[in-house]
């Protein structure tokens, strides 16, 4: 025997007696025989009544249902020891189970009405009114239709019995009246049909919306409704998705993980959400489709197997959101795209996918079972239902009649069943009332018995009180008697005492009289002793009497006291008795009242006890409803909070967007400005380009540019010069002079070019040319051609000539440079020799430092010559102090030194004004070509900076002391005080020099050569002169002066 | 997309123009018959005055405004940032209202062109 899906266990004791109303409304009762693990049968309960039976025949193992099952169960239970367990369902749950086992019901009418009607009116009226009306209009049995909201017409179509607006109002009124008249316990109908003789009206209501359809009399209204629903719904089997499941209203959001999934499923079940739980936000997101809280499938864009998708879905790193899709959305098993999804598989694998701990798996499985236990086992049962064969008619005909005895009983139809249910419920109410009354009767009886007992007890206590009272009375009486007797005795005693007192007094009087008589008698002395004894006896007697009187008086006192005490006691007793009496009466009254109260409350309590059982279910339902309302309220509040947060975020985003917009606008403005600037620059560039194009065009027309571009033969000659210049740079010597020379050459060329280029412009202005071009292009062409020819000629001749000359000058300068380098090398050797000869090392080093600078060659040569001269002077001075060997050695040295001096002198470098193009260029900055061909006024001015860069100065000149000493004798121009010449040759030299100083000769080079020869001759003469005489300071000075003079003469230009 | 949704309003009887404004009174989307341009300033003025009236008279929120004159106009406040205005010749504002209700979700959530 199979087990039914679990529900909420029922704790109360189960009684399956016929006609007994159960304590729960919907559910089932399972019968277990002995210790068997499988049930023997089930009883289905509806509205507290057992309406269905399922049982397993132990022998045949056949499952039977209906009446047979009922008899079987009763038989089993009677023969074996059985126990019952019960589970409670919801009405819907019982309906779902009833769908599976219709054979279990004894009467088929008990099976109907359990599941809510799925007519789809809610879905229908949520659609567009016009669409509904157009769908209805197409049906042949529909004459007309109207849709209204709260009685206000929305739209109408077709023929209507009256005006559409009026009809809307009428229908609304009709439905309102219907609601008022019908009790709230009745189920809201899907639609209301009004059938007349010739036509019919169907009214569908959902909330404030109503649909009124006027049809033919025999139209099937439910069919019309379902057809309309189907035509507007489309695929009723459920939505399917192509790309991704659309997002809906986010009910909850949070981190992923198994616990989060279970929590969201709980929320979905509570809220009956139809939507999906989406894990992830990218294209790899996975959605668990949920229909009314029940998972129906997976949708994963990336696809995959069920296990892979589930594993991905439960990733804790993913963000999880519960989406509720719009109402009317239908999701079913075919909405997902992952195969092999089933609720059972989902619930089985979910606890195990992310954990291996058994305890945790059990916990998760328990949670899921609480959530979906019913649906899971129902699904299993549904699957296995095909294999279960239940003996019993599927749907017995409701018109089947039963023959009982000779009478035919009418078939049990729905109405009779309902009446039976009502009567049974009435019976159960009456039974309950009866039970209540019986309980109250029993309590009354008990009250009565208790009252009787109490009365008896009171009687007994009353009697006892009476006896005590009587005894008290008796005691009182006896006391009173005793009192009276005591009083009497007291009086007697008093009387007696009085008597005795009087007697005593008499006796004493008598005694006294007697004594007086006695005394008289004594006078007679006869019986004095007898008289004394009589007196003594009388005294004794008196004493005895007194003692008796005393004792009697004491007794009297005692008696009086006793009497007083007794009286007092009597009074007290009387008071006590009266108090007791009063108390007794009061207590009685109070007791009566209290007992009545107690009895009343007891009866009430019993009544409440009996009612509480009946009302417990209602309170539980109320609690459940309250809890649901509470949770719904909490959810709504949470949703509201989320909406407010969303609103806040949206407002914040709006603010950010506004700020960003401001920034963007500012950026845009700056970009616009930049763009404008760029556009402007672009335009300027375009204009520049146009200008350049124009210039290029003009240049292409300009004769000078053409010539420069076309004719470069004149500049080809510069090639070797440049190579030599490059080579000279690699020698390691300073190339300042060459650099300046090249610079100067370029300046000259530039000026020549400028001069040549300026000429045509001066001849014809560009405006005139432009005008000529426009008006007389031929003439402009001719003028341009002439200008071009002119410029070309000038360029070819003038520029070429200039460049040629400059090339020659540069070559000469290069030669002089080479010679200067040679001289520098020789001077270096000389200086090294001088150093070895003992010349001042400092001077030698200072001079050696300048051996890489050709520009300092004149000064270097002078310095070297001086050193050589000093050395020679030293040698000559000490010549007489040496021996022969030394003298010979020194002589050779002197010869060498003299040769050196001669060479230095011959080079002209020691004159102070060295000769040569290079040195002339060094002095004035003019190239030889300029000096010879260009008038001084037309020459390009030489910059002082270039002259300073070329000047012949020594580095480490401060080292050279003797140089400075001698330099001090000369002024800035190099003039020194000169004595009157003593040599006639000098005068001749001066005259020759003065006569020739101003003369310019065109044959520059020949005269120059001649002059050089003459000067060399003069040098040798002078040398001879200088050696012939004693070398003293004055002669040296004079020689110096002569040297200066010669150097100045060497400056003469021709 | 929003304009596409609004264009369905033109299929409804009597609708000449359907406009959506945001909470600041700026135009979000609008669809209408050719040559018909609604006076937004007028609409905003009416809406503002009605809101003030509603706030002055009651503590409730204003949801809808119906104008039934020669021309009909229905203003429905869908959310704090969405106001739909439907204008036309017809006086069957209930039909327009029903159409709005049917498409409310889309009208509330679909974004207009920024």
Structure tokens at A686: 């375009």
Contact indicator for B84, B75 with CB cutoff of 8 Å: yes
CA-only gyration radius of chain A, Å: 77
Nearest residue in chain B measured CA to CA from A150: B94
Does A347 have pLDDT greater than 80? yes
| All residues at 6 or more sequence positions from A93 whose CB lies less than 8 Å from its CB, including other chains | A5, A7, A26, A374, A378
Does A237 have pLDDT greater than 90? no
Of B80, B98, B105, the CB nearest to A129: B98
Weakest mean pLDDT among A77-86, A510-519, A741-750, A998-1007:
A998-1007
Give how far the C-alpha of residue A385 lies from the chain's centroid of Cα atoms, to the nearest Å: 51
Provide the CATH number for the domain formed by A121-233 in this structure.
Answer: 3.30.450.30
- Sorted by where each begins, the domain ranges of chain B are 2-109
Does A1000 have pLDDT greater than 60? no
pLDDT at residue A1032 in the model: 58
Q: Is B114 on the interface with A (CB under 8 A)?
A: no
Does A870 have pLDDT greater than 90? no
Structure tokens at A608: 């409440």
Residue A152, min C-alpha distance to chain B (Å) = 7
* Cα-Cα-Cα-Cα dihedral sign, residues A598, A600, A603, A608: negative
Q: Is B79 on the interface with A (CB under 8 A)?
A: no
- Identify the band that residue A411 occupies on the pLDDT scale cut at 50, 70 and 90: very low
Integer Cα distance of A665 and A482 in angstroms: 132
Does A581 have pLDDT greater than 50? yes
Collapsing DSSP to helix, strand or coil, A64 comes out as: strand
Q: Is B13 on the interface with A (CB under 8 A)?
A: yes
Integer Cα distance of A3 and A40 in angstroms: 10
Question: Residue A3 phi/psi, 5° resolution?
Answer: -100, 145
| Residue-wise pLDDT tens digits, A28-55 | 999 998 888 889 999 999 888 898 999 9
Structure tokens at A326: 């719009």
| All residues at 6 or more sequence positions from A249 whose CB lies less than 8 Å from its CB, including other chains | A275, A323, A324
Residues of A in contact with B66 (CB under 8 A): none
pLDDT at residue A418 in the model: 66
- Identify the band that residue A823 occupies on the pLDDT scale cut at 50, 70 and 90: confident
- Distance set, CA A245 to CA A8, A409, A431, A661 (Å): 35, 59, 57, 33
Contact indicator for A244, A301 with CB cutoff of 8 Å: yes
Integer Cα distance of A315 and A689 in angstroms: 65
Q: What angle do CA A587, A591, A592 make, to 5 degrees?
A: 120
Question: Residue A915 phi/psi, 5° resolution?
Answer: -100, 150
Structure tokens at A327: 């109402």
Q: Is B82 on the interface with A (CB under 8 A)?
A: no
Collapsing DSSP to helix, strand or coil, A252 comes out as: strand
pLDDT at residue A495 in the model: 84
Does A454 have pLDDT greater than 50? yes
Query: How high is the mean pLDDT of chain A?
Result: 80
- Distance set, CA A910 to CA A317, A429, A750, A847 (Å): 97, 155, 36, 14
Residue B89, min C-alpha distance to chain A (Å) = 16
Of B80, B95, B105, the CB nearest to A129: B95
Which residues does residue A59 pair with via DSSP β-bridges, in sequence order? none
**CB within 8 Å: A149 and B98:** yes
Q: Is B51 on the interface with A (CB under 8 A)?
A: no
Mean pLDDT of A462-480: 84
pLDDT at residue A659 in the model: 92
| Residue-wise pLDDT tens digits, A529-562 | 777 777 788 788 878 888 888 888 888 888 888 8
Integer Cα distance of A1014 and A1023 in angstroms: 14
Collapsing DSSP to helix, strand or coil, A196 comes out as: coil
Weakest mean pLDDT among A181-190, A351-360, A407-416, B86-95:
A407-416
- Identify the band that residue A397 occupies on the pLDDT scale cut at 50, 70 and 90: very low
CATH 3.30.450.30 fits B2-109, yes or no: yes
Residue A326, min C-alpha distance to chain B (Å) = 8
Q: Is B102 on the interface with A (CB under 8 A)?
A: yes
- Relative to beta strand A8-9, strand A82-88 is antiparallel
Find the helix packing angle between A528-701 and A414-522, rounded to 10°: 150
Mutation target vs A (from B68, B92, B98; most A CBs, 10 A cutoff): B98
pLDDT at residue A954 in the model: 75
pLDDT at residue B46 in the model: 84
Nearest residue in chain A measured CA to CA from B95: A154
pLDDT at residue A721 in the model: 76
Residues of B in contact with A152 (CB under 8 A): 94
Mutation target vs B (from A155, A163, A250, A646; most B CBs, 10 A cutoff): A155
Asked if the ipTM is above 0.90, the reply is no
Residues of B in contact with A126 (CB under 8 A): 102
Integer Cα distance of A64 and A548 in angstroms: 122
pLDDT at residue A902 in the model: 85
Contact indicator for A778, A720 with CB cutoff of 8 Å: no
pLDDT at residue A222 in the model: 78
Weakest mean pLDDT among A743-757, A845-859, B67-81:
A743-757
Nearest partner of B32 among B110, B95, B89, B94, judged by Cα: B89
Q: What angle do CA A275, A277, A283 make, to 5 degrees?
A: 110
Integer Cα distance of A240 and A999 in angstroms: 119
| Residue-wise pLDDT tens digits, A476-506 | 888 888 888 888 888 888 888 888 888 878 8
Mean pLDDT comparison of A501-510, A676-685, A957-966, highest-scoring range: A676-685
pLDDT at residue A1039 in the model: 63
Does A524 have pLDDT greater than 70? no
- Identify the band that residue A666 occupies on the pLDDT scale cut at 50, 70 and 90: very high
Which residues does residue A597 pair with via DSSP β-bridges, in sequence order? none
Residue B65, min C-alpha distance to chain A (Å) = 16
Residues of A in contact with B13 (CB under 8 A): 155
Integer Cα distance of A479 and A195 in angstroms: 107
H/E element holding A154?
Answer: strand A152-158
Which residues does residue A41 pair with via DSSP β-bridges, in sequence order? A31, A55
| Residue-wise pLDDT tens digits, B27-54 | 888 898 877 777 888 888 888 888 888 8
Residue A132, min C-alpha distance to chain B (Å) = 12
Percent of chain A beyond pLDDT 70? 82
B38-51 per-residue burial string, b: 16 or more CB within 10 A, e: under 16:
beeeebbebbeeee
Residues of B in contact with A149 (CB under 8 A): 94, 97-98
Nearest partner of A332 among A266, A236, A245, A248, judged by Cα: A236
- Identify the band that residue A146 occupies on the pLDDT scale cut at 50, 70 and 90: very high
- Identify the band that residue A580 occupies on the pLDDT scale cut at 50, 70 and 90: confident
Find the helix packing angle between A800-837 and A718-730, rounded to 10°: 20
Mean pLDDT of A643-648: 90
Mean pLDDT of A1034-1038: 58
Which residues does residue A27 pair with via DSSP β-bridges, in sequence order? A45, A88
Mean pLDDT of A810-817: 89
Considering only residues A286 and A760, tell me which one the structure prediction assigns the higher pLDDT: A286
Query: How high is the mean pLDDT of chain B?
Result: 85
| Residue-wise pLDDT tens digits, A893-934 | 788 788 878 877 877 777 667 778 888 888 888 888 888 888
Residues of B in contact with A661 (CB under 8 A): none
Nearest residue in chain A measured CA to CA from B12: A130
Residue bearing tokens 């009762």: A29
- Sorted by where each begins, the domain ranges of chain A are 8-116, 121-233, 249-376, 436-687, 703-809, 982-1054
Of B81, B98, B105, the CB nearest to A154: B98
| All residues at 6 or more sequence positions from A90 whose CB lies less than 8 Å from its CB, including other chains | A26
Query: Counting one residue from A and one from B, how many pairs have CB atoms under 8 Å apart?
Result: 32
**CB within 8 Å: B98 and A147:** yes
Integer Cα distance of A323 and A372 in angstroms: 20
Residues of A in contact with B94 (CB under 8 A): 148-149, 152-154
Long-range contacts of A188-192 (CB under 8 A, 24+ apart): A190/A117, A190/A119, A190/A121, A190/A222, A190/A225, A191/A119, A191/A121, A191/A221, A191/A222, A191/A225
Does A127 have pLDDT greater than 60? yes
Does A441 have pLDDT greater than 90? yes
- Distance set, CA A217 to CA A196, A198, A214, A220, A274 (Å): 7, 5, 9, 9, 39
Q: What angle do CA A325, A329, A331 make, to 5 degrees?
A: 100
Mean pLDDT of A854-882: 82
Integer Cα distance of A605 and A492 in angstroms: 74
Considering only residues A201 and A982, tell me which one the structure prediction assigns the higher pLDDT: A201
């Amino acid at each position: 025997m199979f087990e039914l899906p679990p529900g909420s266990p029922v704790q109360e004791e189960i009684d399956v007696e016929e006609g007994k109303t159960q304590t729960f409304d919907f559910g089932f009762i399972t019968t277990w025989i002995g210790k068997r693990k499988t049930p023997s049968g089930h009883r289905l309960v509806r509205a507290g009544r057992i309406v269905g039976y399922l049982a397993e025949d132990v022998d045949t193992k056949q499952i039977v249902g209906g009446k047979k099952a009922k008899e079987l169960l009763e038989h089993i239970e009677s023969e074996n020891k059985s126990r019952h367990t019960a589970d409670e369902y919801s009405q819907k749950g019982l309906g779902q189970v009833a769908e599976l086992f219709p054979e279990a019901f004894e009467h088929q009418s008990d099976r109907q009405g359990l599941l809510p009607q799925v007519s789809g009116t809610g879905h229908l009226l949520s659609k567009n009114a016009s669409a509904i009306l157009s769908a209805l209009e197409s049906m042949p049995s529909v004459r007309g239709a109207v849709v209204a909201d709260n009685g206000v017409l929305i739209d109408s179509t077709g023929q209507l019995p009256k005006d559409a607006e009026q009809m809307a109002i009428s229908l609304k009124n009709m439905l309102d009246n219907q609601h008022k008249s019908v009790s709230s316990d009745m189920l809201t109908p899907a639609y209301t049909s009004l059938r007349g003789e010739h036509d019919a009206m169907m009214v569908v209501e959902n909330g404030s919306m109503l649909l009124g359809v006027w049809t033919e009399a025999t139209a099937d209204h439910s069919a019309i409704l379902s057809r309309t629903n189907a035509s507007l719904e489309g695929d009723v089997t459920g939505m399917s998705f192509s790309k991704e499941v659309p997002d809906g209203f986010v009910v909850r959001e949070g981190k992923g993980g198994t616990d989060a999934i279970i929590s969201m499923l709980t929320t979905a079940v509570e809220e009956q959400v139809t939507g999906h739980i989406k894990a992830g936000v990218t294209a790899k997101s996975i959605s668990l489709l949920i229909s009314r809280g029940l998972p129906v499938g997976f949708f994963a864009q990336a696809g995959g197997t069920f296990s892979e998708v589930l594993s991905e879905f439960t990733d804790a790193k993913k963000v999880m959101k519960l989406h509720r899709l719009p109402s009317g959305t239908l999701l079913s098993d075919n909405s997902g795209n992952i195969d092999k999804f089933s609720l059972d598989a989902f619930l089985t694998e979910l606890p195990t996918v992310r954990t291996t701990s058994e305890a945790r798996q059990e916990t998760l499985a328990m949670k899921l079972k609480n959530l979906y236990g019913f649906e899971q086992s129902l699904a299993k049962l549904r699957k296995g239902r095909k294999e279960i064969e239940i003996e019993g008619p599927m749907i017995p005909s409701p018109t089947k009649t039963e023959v009982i005895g000779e009478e035919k009983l009418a078939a049990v139809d729905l109405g009779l069943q309902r009446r039976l249910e009502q009567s049974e419920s009435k019976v159960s109410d009456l039974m309950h009332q009866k039970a209540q009354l019986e309980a109250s009767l029993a309590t009354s009886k008990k009250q009565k018995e208790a009252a009787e007992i109490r009365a008896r007890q009171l009687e007994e206590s009353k009697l006892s009180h009476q006896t005590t009272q009587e005894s008290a009375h008796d005691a009182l009486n006896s006391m009173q008697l005793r009192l009276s007797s005591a009083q009497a005795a007291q009086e007697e005693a008093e009387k007696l005492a009085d008597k005795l007192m009087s007697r005593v007094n008499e006796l004493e009087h008598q005694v006294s009289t007697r004594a007086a008589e006695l005394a008289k008698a004594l006078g007679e002395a006869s019986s004095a002793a007898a008289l004394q004894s009589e007196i003594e006896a009388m005294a004794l007697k008196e004493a005895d009497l007194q003692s008796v009187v005393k004792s009697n008086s004491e007794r009297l006192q005692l008696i009086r006291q006793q009497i007083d005490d007794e009286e007092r006691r009597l009074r007290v007793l009387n008071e006590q008795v009266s108090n007791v009496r009063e108390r007794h009466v009061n207590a009685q009254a109070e007791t009566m009242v209290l007992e009545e109260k107690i009895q009343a409350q007891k009866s009430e309590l019993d009544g409440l006890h009996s009612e509480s059982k009946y009302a417990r279910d209602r309170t539980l339902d109320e609690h459940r409803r309250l809890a649901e309302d509470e949770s719904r309220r909490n959810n709504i509040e949470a949703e509201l909070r989320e909406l407010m947060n969303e609103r806040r975020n949206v407002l914040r985003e709006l603010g950010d967007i506004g700020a960003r917009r401001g920034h963007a606008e500012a950026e845009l403005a700056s970009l616009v400005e930049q763009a404008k600037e760029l556009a402007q620059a672009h335009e300027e560039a375009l204009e520049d380009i146009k200008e350049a194009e124009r210039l290029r065009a003009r240049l292409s027309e300009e004769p000078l540019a053409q010539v420069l571009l076309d004719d470069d033969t004149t500049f080809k000659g510069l090639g070797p010069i440049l190579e030599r210049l490059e080579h000279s740079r690699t020698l390691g010597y300073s190339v300042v002079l060459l650099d300046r020379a090249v610079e100067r050459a370029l300046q000259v060329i530039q000026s020549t070019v400028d001069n040549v280029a300026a000429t045509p412009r001066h001849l014809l202005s560009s405006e005139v040319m432009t005008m000529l071009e426009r008006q007389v292009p031929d003439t402009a062409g001719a003028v341009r051609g002439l200008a071009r020819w002119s410029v070309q000629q000038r360029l070819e001749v003038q520029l070429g000539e200039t460049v040629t000359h400059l090339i020659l000058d540069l070559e000469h300068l290069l030669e002089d440079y080479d010679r200067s380098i040679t001289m520098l090398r020789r001077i270096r050797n000389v200086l090294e020799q001088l150093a070895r000869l003992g010349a001042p090392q400092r001077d030698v080093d200072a001079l050696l430092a300048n051996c890489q600078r050709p520009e300092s060659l004149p000064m270097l040569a002078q310095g070297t010559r001086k050193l050589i001269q000093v050395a020679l002077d030293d040698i000559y001075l000490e010549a007489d102090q040496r021996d022969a060997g030394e003298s010979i050695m020194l002589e050779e040295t002197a010869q060498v030194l003299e040769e050196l001096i001669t060479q230095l002198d011959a080079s002209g470098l020691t004159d102070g004004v060295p000769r040569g193009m290079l040195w002339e260029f060094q002095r004035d900055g003019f190239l030889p070509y300029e000096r010879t061909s260009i008038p001084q006024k037309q020459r390009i001015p030489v910059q002082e900076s270039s002259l300073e860069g070329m000047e012949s100065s020594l580095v480490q000149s401060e080292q050279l002391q003797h140089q400075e000493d001698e330099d001090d004798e000369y002024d800035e121009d190099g003039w020194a005080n000169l004595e009157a010449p003593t040599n006639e040759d000098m005068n001749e030299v001066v005259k020759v020099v003065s006569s020739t100083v101003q003369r310019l000769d065109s044959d520059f080079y020949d005269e120059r050569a001649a002059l050089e020869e003459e000067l060399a001759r003069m040098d040798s003469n002078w040398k001879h002169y200088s050696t012939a005489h004693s070398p003293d300071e004055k002669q040296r000075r004079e020689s110096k002066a002569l040297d200066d003079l010669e150097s100045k003469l060497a400056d003469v230009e021709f | 997309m929003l304009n596409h949704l609004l264009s369905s309003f033109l299929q409804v009887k009597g609708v000449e123009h359907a406009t959506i404004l945001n909470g600041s009174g700026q135009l979000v989307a609008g669809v209408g018959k050719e040559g018909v341009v609604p006076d937004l300033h007028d609409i905003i003025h009416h809406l503002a005055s009605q809101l003030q009236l509603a706030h002055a008279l009651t503590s409730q929120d204003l949801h809808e405004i119906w104008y039934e004159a020669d021309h009909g106009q229905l203003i429905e406040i869908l959310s704090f940032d969405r106001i739909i205005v439907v204008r036309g010749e017809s006086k069957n504002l209930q039909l327009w209202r029903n159409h709005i209700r049917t498409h409310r979700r889309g009208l509330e959530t679909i974004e207009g062109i920024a």
